[in-house]
């Protein structure tokens, strides 16, 4: 019984660390385990197509030490001409997590554009929480960023 409880406790701790400490926590840009910024999704497509779209390996670019994927050469070129316009806030980490003082991975399909800026969240459930007090969370995240990378 005690061994089972210890294993469950260890698993719970490992999951908590996995969720709140992405690989390379000091990295300025959130990348998945394959090294793709924002999980390989096209940051420009959120603006031009109003939806989350996976990028293609044929259309990639390096920016801020991360590998970015795009759905087309045109989107790649738009991004490279003005990366600050299209790159997600807080390096693509979960906007809610940054507002709370830590980083977390994201679900690229849980997103919002607010005043011309792309925000990503850990999940759709977290996004619902974030949207409820969005302006306050953005203000808090702005104060926390980039200090949460330390």
DSSP string over 50-69: SS--B-EEEEEEEETTEEEE
DSSP 30-53: -B-TTSBBGGGB-TTHHHHTSS--
Question: pTM here?
Answer: 0.82
Give the C-alpha distances (Å, rounded to integers) separating 11 from 32, 101, 106: 21, 24, 21
Ranges 4-18, 45-59, 117-131, 134-148: which has the least confidence: 4-18
Give the C-alpha distances (Å, rounded to integers) separating 111 from 4, 25, 68, 103, 121: 39, 21, 17, 16, 6
> Residue 81 has what pLDDT?
98
Q: Judge contact between 69 and 59, C-beta under 8 A.
A: yes
Determine what percent of the chain is predicted with pLDDT higher than 90. Answer: 79
d(CA 99, CA 4): 36
Confidence of residue 14 (pLDDT cuts 50, 70, 90): very low
Average of pLDDT values for 10-26? 42
- pLDDT tens digits for range 80-125: 999 999 999 999 999 999 999 999 999 999 999 999 999 999 999 9
Confidence of residue 26 (pLDDT cuts 50, 70, 90): low
| pLDDT of 17 strictly over 90 | no
| pLDDT of 43 strictly over 90 | yes
Neighbours of 78 (CB within 10 A): 18
d(CA 79, CA 136): 28
């Amino acid at each position: 019984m005690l061994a089972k409880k210890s294993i469950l406790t260890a698993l719970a701790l490992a999951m908590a660390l996995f969720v709140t400490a992405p690989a390379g926590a000091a990295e300025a840009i959130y990348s998945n385990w394959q090294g793709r910024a924002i999980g390989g999704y096209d940051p420009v497509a959120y603006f031009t197509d109003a939806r989350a779209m996976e990028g293609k390996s044929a259309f990639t670019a390096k920016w801020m030490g991360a590998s970015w994927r795009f759905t087309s050469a045109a989107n790649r070129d738009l991004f490279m001409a003005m990366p600050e316009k299209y790159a997600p806030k807080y390096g693509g980490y979960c906007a809610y997590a940054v507002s709370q003082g830590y980083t977390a991975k994201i679900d690229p399909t849980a997103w919002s554009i607010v005043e011309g800026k792309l925000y990503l969240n850990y999940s759709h459930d977290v996004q619902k929480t974030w949207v409820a007090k969005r302006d306050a969370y953005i203000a808090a995240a702005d104060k926390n960023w980039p200090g949460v990378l330390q």
